[in-house]
Amino acid sequence: MAVRVLIVDDSGFFRRRIAEILRADPRLEVAGFAANCAEAVEAAVRLRPDVVTMDVEMPVMDGIEAVRRIMARAPTAILMFSSLTHEGAEATLAALEAGAADFLPKRLQDLAADQAEAGRLLRERVLALAGGGRRARAAAAAARAPSVATAPAPRRRPVPAAGRHGLVVIGSSTGGPVALQRVLAALPAAFAAPVVVVQHMPASFTGPFAERLDRLCALEVREAADREPLAPGRVALAPGGRQLYLERTDGALRVRLRDPQPGEHYKPSVDVALASAAETVGAGTLAVIMTGMGADGREGARRLKARGGTVWAQDEASCVIYGMPRAVVEAGLADRVLPLEEIGPALAADVR
């Protein structure tokens, strides 16, 4: 049975263009169109599509409110289209909190320079979201549930020196922004290890995302800067479009950033970060591989395990897309497999 897609955009040209791209794959069917978000909510309830594609910026009702209403009345995997600007990032992150499953740049040439490749990536993303539709709806419902992530962050206080695990590295992709918020908000200000987060995200999004996490968490969250030292109680978020790795200089563990090399598909890459953690910290590293497409993190986890490190994976039921964790689990690299709601408390109990 074909995956049915509802296309929502105020531009008739863009609706036709997305329909043309999707129809190039016989596994995809255009279930209908909507020109504004009010129409989108009605169409989602009436047509019950498998996936909705929607622009963040829409007339009549903004995309964020439309996501809330669709998830309340007809929970569906929703793919947002967003401009790669600071304002677009803020709106997209709010839409993800409201229940959207993933996002892509509105300008498809920002997705890939080659038009055919951009179309292929869009179809691949829609198919993946449809395959994880049940999990996407469950994850969205969990995101709307009350949690410490929506509570004011407690006052920060001094933190102790790192304990048994001297470093935590978290990798995620599709579904990661909301999942990371829930995990990091469960960690106390006295968390005894530095945290590095590698989330697949455009360069214009990681700064606003770090700011959002910083407002919601007891830990201090920053977009990572080159040569900055890592410290307990702080979270370094890998900048989009760069590769983050670690090195020891002047007695301190520091973040290093470089431009991607040819053949490096993910920018930032979990594999790159974990491989450097394996070399610089080794057995003192705890890696957590969370929701996302593909297998980024598997080879880095393999190198980490060879150095005595520890690897946790998010379980299938709580993932929006069970790709990255599946790759780690099926390779026999996961020491623990945990549902999303248990990862933060488990980290808090393990690293102290």
Q: What does the pLDDT read at residue 121?
A: 92
Q: What does the pLDDT read at residue 211?
A: 96
Q: What does the pLDDT read at residue 137?
A: 55
For the chain, the structural domain boundaries read 3-144, 157-350
Q: What does the pLDDT read at residue 134?
A: 54
CB 98 within 8 A of CB 86: no
How remote is the C-alpha of 269 from its chain's centroid?
12
Amino acid, single-letter form, for residue 294: G
- Give the active site residues: 173, 200, 296
Backbone angles phi, psi at 17, to 5 degrees: -65, -45
Q: What does the pLDDT read at residue 328?
A: 98
Which CATH code, of 3.40.50.1100, 3.30.1330.10, 3.90.25.10, 3.40.50.2300, is assigned to 3-144? 3.40.50.2300
Query: Which residue has 């497999």 as its token pair?
Result: 337
Residues with pLDDT less than 50, the chain: 146-163
CB 321 within 8 A of CB 293: yes
> Which tens digit of pLDDT belongs to each residue from 284-326?
999 999 999 999 999 999 999 999 999 999 999 999 999 999 9
- Regarding the domain with residue range 157-350, which homologous superfamily does it belong to in the CATH classification? Methylesterase CheB, C-terminal domain (3.40.50.180)
Domains 3-144 and 157-350 share a fold: yes
> Which tens digit of pLDDT belongs to each residue from 162-186?
446 799 999 999 999 999 999 999 9
Residue 229 to residue 210: CA distance in whole angstroms:
17
Backbone angles phi, psi at 102, to 5 degrees: -165, 175
What pTM does this model have?
A: 0.89
Q: What is the 3-state secondary structure (H, E, C) of 60-87?
A: CCCHHHHHHHHHHHCCCEEEEEECCCHH
Q: What does the pLDDT read at residue 323?
A: 96
Q: What does the pLDDT read at residue 141?
A: 54
What DSSP assignment string belongs to 292-337?
A: BSS-TTHHHHHHHHHTT-EEEEE-GGG-SSBSHHHHHHHTT--SEE
CB 36 within 8 A of CB 63: no
